[in-house]
A and B are shown apart, each in its own frame.
Chain A
Amino acid sequence: MKYSGCHIPRNRTGWIKVWFLMSLFVSQISWAIGTLSGTSISNTATVSYLLGAVPQPDLSATSAAVLVDEKINLTVTGGVTTNVAAGSTIQATPFTVTNNANSALDFALTVTDVIGGDQFDPLPLSCSAFVENGTTPNYQAGQDTATFIDELAANASATVYAVCDIPGSLALGDTGFVGLTAIAQGNFNAAGYVPSTGVLGGLLAEAAANTASVDIALADIGGTEDLARDAKHSAHNTYLIGGAAVSVAKTVTSILDPNGTSVLMPGAVITYQITVDVTGSGSVTNLTINDPLPANTSYVSNSISLDGVPKTDAIDADNVQFSANTVTVSLGNVAAPANHVITFRATIN
């Protein structure tokens, strides 16, 4: 059974009432996160009636307004593993901070570096938190300089980087946890949130009783470094010491004997090639290749080249030398993925 217009039967009164409440209807848009604090909600009922058979003017009554209070809630999302090299500095790992409250808020940020259950901590006092400014993806030291989240709208998220220095002398696969805590802050009056652009708003706490201002209710859950209902939330990311692997292969690429053929005989010159592959992620530090010459061979002076570039044998500024009958190539810190080719020649005695 469907009703159209008024329920009052037409044949009984000869009168039909048309409700005209569109202006009240159009503003009924659903909110994803919650009604903004400071909003007033009231209820209006309209009564129509007859005296005898005579329609009377409509009567309306509106309830007192209910002021919507502030429900503080926020989420820090971590769980990201960031590959780093031992001894590397300014290593950023990203977190997401979401404002789940019913107003815009500011968020103070702190980084926790000493956390149990891992193999290392970032260098003491090396960690900072910076907010992604949206210009260039990933952490950019020159751009992402804000140390708190300013005016984050309700239901909006921001990317925050914990940026730390990594100690040296760590083994591949070592992990170090880093925590980020976001603290919701803001100023409120009876009309709701009061923006404070460029300045961190005040700390938030629940009032003991109703105040003239919008009251604060804390509804956040506990995180890795904080408790429930403390206007904070926190999570961990992991620094992983690069899972980089080095593989070395040595091959003979040519043999040239004194007769101009490829016979292994005294006086034949052998060209050796060593390929170095650094695979995986992260980097390796102080990578050095040592290759002692085989017995009964003589090194051909200044025959070494690295990646096609000739190098001297002397112990000098270039990273290649021949001494103590050993070819040594110092590649230093190598970030994966990388590939290097070393060639040199030797004569069969």
Chain B
Amino acid sequence: MTISRLFFTTTLIALFGSFASVVHAADASIKVTSIAQTEVEVADKSGKRSVKRTPVEKAVPGSEVIFTTTFENTIDKAASNIVINNPIPTDTEYKAGSAFGKDCEILFSTDGGKTFGHADELKVKDKEGKERNALPKEYTHIRWTYKAPLSPGKSSEVGFRAIIK
């Protein structure tokens, strides 16, 4: 790791205000970071309340955590066919309707990432083998397909909310 890359990594951590780890291949042209945040309600001096995202280090069962993954193109060539695959973390449940990602098709899996489908199309079989609509808490994976090439210097982010079981 070069000094400049180390500096960049440090900058990213400062940028997202969280201890995100940055992992990339030696010649990677995309930088990927993932952070965990929570929403807190804050009031300004006039008493106006607003919701602010802050890094979360600890939480009790039932808490909601927002996981956000950022990807940035750091070279001079466009990257295409960008797909982000994200297993729902162990000990958490996906919160219905929470997945977000600009210019992305968002699909879900209930079978450990073998097959994916839109949220309203996913089926699971019950104990009697009868098909029913999958519940959001049964999702095992989320997959974002970024619809356009990512131009040099550009970045985008995807994410979702999970409830700690």
Instruction: Give A contacts to B, CB under 8 Å.
Output: 1-8, 13, 17, 19, 21-22, 24-28, 30-31, 34-35, 39, 41-52, 56-57, 59-71, 102, 210, 214-215, 217, 219
Instruction: Give B contacts to A, CB under 8 Å.
Output: 18-25, 28-30, 32-36, 55-62, 65, 67, 69, 71, 77, 79-93, 105, 107, 112-118, 121, 140-141, 143, 145, 150, 158, 162, 164-165
| Complex alpha-carbon distance, A25 and B86, angstroms | 11
Q: A47-B82, A66-B65 are in contact. Are A25 and B113 (CB under 8 A)?
A: yes
Q: A215-B58, A217-B60 are in contact. Are A3 and B140 (CB under 8 A)?
A: no
Task: Tell me, rounded to whole Å, the shortest Cβ–Cβ distance linking B138 to chain A.
Answer: 9
Q: Find B56's partner among A34, A57, A66, A214 (CB 8 Å cutoff).
A: A66
Which residues of chain A are near B143, meaning CB under 8 Å? 7
| Complex alpha-carbon distance, A67 and B58, angstroms | 4
The 6 lowest CB-CB distance pairs between A and B, nearest first, are A34-B61, A25-B112, A43-B67, A45-B69, A64-B19, A61-B32
Q: Are B90 and A13 in touch, CB under 8 angstroms? A: no
| Complex alpha-carbon distance, A48 and B83, angstroms | 5
Q: A1-B118, A2-B117, A66-B36 are in contact. Are A35 and B61 (CB under 8 A)?
A: yes
Q: Are B81 and A68 in touch, CB under 8 angstroms? A: no
| Complex alpha-carbon distance, A9 and B83, angstroms | 12
Q: Are A51 and B58 in touch, CB under 8 angstroms? A: no
Q: Are B62 and A34 in touch, CB under 8 angstroms? A: yes
- Candidate in A39, A62, A70, A71 with the most chain B CB atoms within 10 angstroms: A62
Which residues of chain A are near B165, meaning CB under 8 Å? 30-31, 34-35
| Complex alpha-carbon distance, A63 and B32, angstroms | 10
Which residues of chain A are near B85, meaning CB under 8 Å? 19, 21, 45-48
